[in-house]
Structure 1
């Protein structure tokens, strides 16, 4: 049986504590904290083993307390997953613990993503051929052993560069929205999967959206809108566009900022929305650290808030919300993955 995880993270083991002390990321940073921001980074532990990746870890939760985490390997292009912080599994390994069904192998040069929908978890990755693929994870009755589905290619020639991730958000009724960078240009495209008809819309270019890095998206029912962020091609500033749920139209690109101006970033920004009307946008600043702004339902922003330990990650960070708490997931220069409470709202 799968253990139900009621807490977001396990308490630290001796191994976790040792690794945290070894990294020693404790330098005081530049500005005020996000509300409720944690003071230290903790290693991501799966079955008492610290995980490593060459990219950013992604995770999703269901309403029963299960958590699925996916990542690219540290020294290979394999896709790994862990369910409820259990043993990390190579997707395609025919000796998976827990009774999971073997699936076809998969390889990626970038970070995979995972969401939870009304029909179960869905994992997305960009293949080494640039095509976008997805597969499902479902649990047996009573929360039994998981079933790992086969990889399916997103239709209608949804193709990006092999080294940029696809952005995905879960929507009501088992639906989702995908966004990706064009394979031969800097445009950003999207397609909508309708959970009722089990069909994809034709890919369409998002007006005004252009980048050289992967976009990121977030959605929460309390907001009723999808928010996409990316690094634009003209100024390298973090740029935001919004779409009300049920609409196919996007707002014009906006470079969120205030008296201090926008944020020049390197790599992909990330975004997370809470269930009580708050959110953050985080991005790597010119010094290599991380800076965030808070976001309200109206689209107004406040900040800037510098991450308090001045962590210098290997790749762009990932923000994820669980209820009213937002967490950061970052990969250190040596490939070890760490997490930290970004804010409590």
Structure 2
């Protein structure tokens, strides 16, 4: 549950005072995000089969195509993927992980995939614009917790530049690294502490990277940097989140942050391109329970939310925000 709290204003760039959070776990329909569906649709593969997963299902869209990755819903720790809305599921050879994988657009129509190896190293691979597979490669000198995912953002539509954020492999700290199109750069310390992991997105409106994490007090924190600059420090946006939050920026520049409460219900809050909140936290109106942190995926102005349910580990998706005020 999200409790009523008041927060001091954070004088960070153009970020201003944050408003009072909602009191109850019962949302008002008028408070839902613009364009939010009041229902979830089942994720499907192999034509018309339900998609089941252990962990968070990640998906990305690029060049008019959809690619999904997930961890097998069994004890094998294998990673699987599918191409297209209901495409054939196939195993990602050479990838075994105790953490959920992630995927982001790569170039104009390709994709970059990431997973945490059972040795704690971070591995990545790419499908280029012609869907040629690179194979898995470890990112030198960067490790994370064995069961902790990483988060990656494409830095600009059509770009081959990326930013990756992850939890330290040895403590509760957080780190990030740029890929400049050719190689991974030295890691940056993001500051702060988390029991889960940070997530990151690129904002096309302000050309800023935004990172989000759940602090050790269970509140959600954001911070930003302009491309190639320094991080400006974490500021609280409230909430009471179980596990990692997720963040995504619409093509309009407006952003959405999502997370689970302690009863596994999903909540959202929207922000403009400068990190100013557009409304309070609102609970998803359908009351489905998420077994793991949700994933936000962008298609132009629209942001989609993906969850794996607590009841049977089935994947669902919905439009959670259309990018408008």
The answer, yes or no, to whether TM exceeds 0.5 is yes
1:109 aligns with 2:94: no
The question of 1:54 aligning with 2:54 is answered yes
235, 238, 241: which one aligns with 2:220:
238
CA contact (8 A) 2:80 2:89 kept: yes
Question: 1:314 corresponds to which residue?
Answer: 291
Within 5 Å, which residues of 2 pair with 1:130-145? 130-140=120-130
Structure number with larger C-alpha Rg: 1
Contact residue 203 and residue 273 of structure 2 kept, 8 A: no
Per-residue CA distance 1:85-110 (angstroms, 9 max, x = gap): 31000012xxxxxxxxxxxx210111
Contact 1:271 1:320 in 2 (8 A): no
TM-score (norm 2): 0.85
Contact 2:60/2:68 (8 A) holds in 1: yes
| Structure 2 residues not aligned, in runs of 5+ | 1-24
SS of corresponding position for 1:210: coil
Taking structure 1 as reference, are residues 128 and 176 closer, same or farther at Cα in structure 2, changes over 3 Å only?
same
- Cα RMSD of the aligned pairs, angstroms, is 1.5
**Cα distance in 2 for residues equivalent to 1:192 and 1:178:** 6
Question: For residues 198 and 246 of structure 2, what CA distance do their matches in structure 1 show?
Answer: 8
Q: How many residues align?
A: 289
Shift of 1:226: 0.8
Partner of 1:153: 138
For residues 218-229 of structure 1, the aligned pairs below 5 Å read 218-229=201-212
1:171 — aligned with what? Answer: 155
The 5-angstrom pairing of residues 5-20 of structure 1 reads: none
State the SS of the aligned residue for 2:221: strand
Structure 1 stretches of at least 4 aligned residues deviating more than 3 Å after TM superposition: none
Question: 1:112-168: CA deviations, max 9, x gaps?
Answer: 11111227311000011110000111353xxxxx3322100001x201111110111
Equivalent residue, structure 1, for 2:253: 277
1:339 aligns with 2:317: yes
Q: Secondary structure at the match of 1:129?
A: coil
For 1:91, what is the secondary structure of its paired residue?
strand
Is residue 46 of structure 2 the alignment partner of residue 39 of structure 1? no
The CA distance in 2 between the partners of 1:268 and 1:35, in whole Å, is: 24
- Following superposition, the deviation at residue 179 of structure 1 comes to 1.1
Residue 180 (structure 1) aligns with:
166
